[in-house]
Amino acid sequence: MSLTQQQKKQYAALLAEIYGLERVLVAFSGGVDSALLLHAAKRAVGESVLAVTFATPYSPQEETACAVEFAETLGVRHLLVEMPIPDDIRDNPPERCYLCKRTLFSELVRIAGEEGIRHILDGSNLDDLGDHRPGRRAVKELGVRSPLLDAGLAKQDIRDLSREYGLPTWDKPAGACLLTRLPHGRRVEEAELRRIDAGETFLKDLGFASVRLRSHGDVARIELPPEDIAACMESGARKLIDDRLKALGYRHVAVDLAGYRRGSLNEPESTGRKE
């Protein structure tokens, strides 16, 4: 499918904005949005782009590895910065996204200062304005620029452009940090994050590309798109999943019949019917 004239104009506007900045630092997670942004930055300013990826205990290891590989393939200078869990999100508060992004992007400001780079770019897009994105507040507070948003690009535009330019991320499922798999107010431990990451990696290796493993103590709650639930419940897959997740330390393994929902742990609990 070819690009629309509107998408071509938007992409040209994206390149023009970045070109005018001369030197840029790109906050690069390795996801669909930041991958297109980094690709555009390389086209616009060449060697004058620096990509920075944070490796935290709540970053899926596969995502970090993909970011490293993509930056290497693209031929851009890339820093992989290891960061611990910030103290103020240790109990996974409702405002964790803001607090986390404020901490990580403050580190980007420091790195940019050391590098003599005036402009930091992130992959926010038009769809983020209609979603609950508390991290956007930190982005604006720290003066980070969002060229995809400035160009009026929505998620589907970004996927279409990524496919047009041969980026392997064009059909990559939406990702999120591992803290989203834990209920708010739950003490965050690195061992549990590793368990969640291992469990989700196993499920993806079975062919479930869009999956969330919500962790409730000794209960693993699997969220899948409704069309994938039947395949997960097939006897052979069910036993493999049950055995593997129990080997990781869960006592009970459940499949959520409501299916995958973004931010399902933000949903209020039902009080049920009063007797």
- Going across the sheet that includes 119-121, the strands are 77-82, 49-55, 24-27, 119-121
Q: Is 140 helix (H, G, I), strand (E, B) or coil?
A: helix
To which residue do tokens 């959520």 refer?
256
pLDDT score, position 193 = 97
pLDDT score, position 132 = 59
Low-confidence ranges of the chain (pLDDT < 70): 130-133, 263-275
| CB within 8 Å of 99: residues ≥ 6 apart | 86, 88, 89, 93
pLDDT score, position 272 = 38
Of the candidates 1, 275, 21, 47, the residue with the CA atom closest to the CA atom of residue 159: 1
DSSP-assigned letter for residue 66: H
pLDDT score, position 131 = 62
Per-residue pLDDT of 99-126, as tens digits, reads 999 999 999 999 999 999 999 999 999 9
Considering the segment(s) 189-263 as one domain, its CATH architecture is 2-Layer Sandwich (3.30)
pLDDT score, position 264 = 59
Of the candidates 61, 252, 93, 67, the residue with the CA atom closest to the CA atom of residue 180: 93
Q: Is 24 helix (H, G, I), strand (E, B) or coil?
A: strand
To which residue do tokens 């620096």 refer?
50
DSSP-assigned letter for residue 184: T
pLDDT score, position 267 = 53
Q: Token digits for 197?
A: 């990451």
In the chain, where the domains are located: 5-164, 189-263
* Residue ranges of E strands in 23-160: 24-27, 49-55, 77-82, 119-121
Give me the phi and psi of 177, to 5 degrees please.
Answer: -65, 160
Q: For the domain covering 5-164, report its CATH number.
A: 3.40.50.620
CA pseudo-torsion sign 59, 62, 68, 70: negative
d(CA 7, CA 156): 10
